[in-house]
Chain A
């Protein structure tokens, strides 16, 4: 199967301090990959490079067979993103935000599509309310609605359920899983909630000090490393110094 995302030997330093070093991985269609690691491990740096808003010092990002450096606009037409720290403009209404982003993703006659995502994310009663007035959970739903507007082949989710209550988080996880299954896209998902990762991810990648420590199935990995569950494995890996 041909990969949707191929990250090859990415390295990035800020003022001589290494953020990521020689990071390589791939994501395939219909696959949800968890990118895990302690704070400062390089997860957001990796996502920002894949999104084209940060230039790597070394390495390349290939999406759908195209190099991001050369085909940025074409590639980003088929990629989308959501992060709890990057909400949509709070001073625009929900419908206005979604309409503007549908234009930014080059979608003509977006009316029907917008109606569909508004229903899909239960946003009917919020459509004419300013996004900034919504609760965290509601804003997350708006952000995720924006993230699937262009039917992306690759979806990047940076802590999508952070600050959500468990019931809303479960609902969001289900929506994303259903979307992935229906669309057959690849998803890169970062989270600090290991139960969530075990529930949604087909594969996980552990980053520590900017390097990939290990990669594998979230259910099998803890056993392989003699840990009770993914959370215990995460804690033990976070404490370990990095082996060269």
Chain B
């Protein structure tokens, strides 16, 4: 393992952001808008409903964790797309960097950007809308770890899709979190979903996180099974997505897709 290789990928992201402020703005603008939007909505809901039910803790907290997950997933895909857009594959993959070092660089960049985004969101949510993050206790770390693993898994899956089907497959990956969101039970309990949707929910690690979050806010006992199950599911997703990426990488080596990314567009 060579840390310089990983650092090169992280530094590249930093250089790109430093040279173009619109990248920084776009990274943080939407999450800030999201927090303000949901912040005002939850405050309004708190005003018109029973006082014992805190929508800020319930919905704003959920949106904060969901945005973190989305930021992580998109962060991995975005780092990869930078190489697609700049047609950098040949130069990159004919250097001594190993496949997993490249991925580690993308994950680290994504983690740094995701963490900064989380800090900004938490600051606004706590100080403007009075979200009490500490009420979740140490569970916060567990929520973040599971969502991080699930986020990078889907990020790796996204880059496999782009690698295999070309840059035009980009349109598939951006809305992926939105496609998952109805099943993840971010705003409502999974039980209210129809049976077939519940089945999908049960195989998504995120659904256990949001179930646990709701249970904590409602001061009910959290199912102890949720923790190992969601963590295990997240690891399974990571393993499957890594395997898909590995197969796609080998397919590209066999068909010469890496070279074609530089020389011509893939249809």
Contacts and interface: CB of A to CB of B under 8 A. Distances in A.
Contact of B90 (A53, A73, A76, A91): A53
Contacts of A14: 255-256
Interface string B88-122: 11111111111000000000000000000000000
B102 to A, nearest CB: 10
Contacts of A73: 96-98
B90 A108 contact: no
A130 interface: yes
B15 A100 contact: yes
Contacts of A83: 90, 262
B202 interface: no
A93 B20 CA distance: 12
Contacts of B95: 76, 101, 104-105
Interface in A27-65: 44-45, 48, 51-55
Nearest to B252: A53
A91 B22 CA distance: 13
B86 A90 contact: yes
Nearest to B250: A55
Interface in B1-30: 2, 4-5, 7-8, 11-12, 15-16, 19-20
A88 interface: yes
Contact of A76 (B12, B94, B254, B258): B94
B96 A103 contact: no
B180 interface: no
A54 B86 contact: no
B16 A91 contact: yes
B134 interface: no
Contact of B4 (A48, A52, A108): A108
Contacts of A111: none
Contacts of B235: none
A92 interface: yes
Contacts of B89: 53
Nearest to A149: B95
A53 B15 contact: no
Contacts of A146: 91
A103 B16 CA distance: 16
A100 B12 contact: yes
The residue in A14, A74, A88, A106 that gathers the most chain B C-beta atoms within 10 A of its C-beta is A106
A159 B217 CA distance: 65
B256 A106 contact: no
B169 interface: no
A96 interface: yes
A101 B91 contact: yes
Given A52-B94, A53-B90, A92-B19, A103 B259 contact: no
A53 B93 contact: yes
A74 B96 contact: yes
A189 interface: no
The residue in A72, A81, A86, A92 that gathers the most chain B C-beta atoms within 10 A of its C-beta is A86
A91 B97 contact: no
A79 B20 CA distance: 33
9 contacts: A53-B259, A54-B258, A72-B96, A73-B96, A86-B87, A88-B88, A89-B83, A92-B86, A101-B8
Given A55-B253, A73-B97, A91-B82, 11 more contacts: A53-B258, A54-B254, A54-B256, A72-B96, A74-B96, A92-B15, A92-B86, A96-B12, A104-B8, A104-B95, A130-B19
Q: Which 9 A-B pairs give the minimum distances between C-beta atoms? A: A103-B8, A89-B86, A51-B94, A104-B95, A76-B96, A86-B90, A73-B96, A53-B258, A86-B262
Interface of B: 2, 4-5, 7-8, 11-12, 15-16, 19-20, 82-83, 86-98, 250, 253-256, 258-259, 262-263
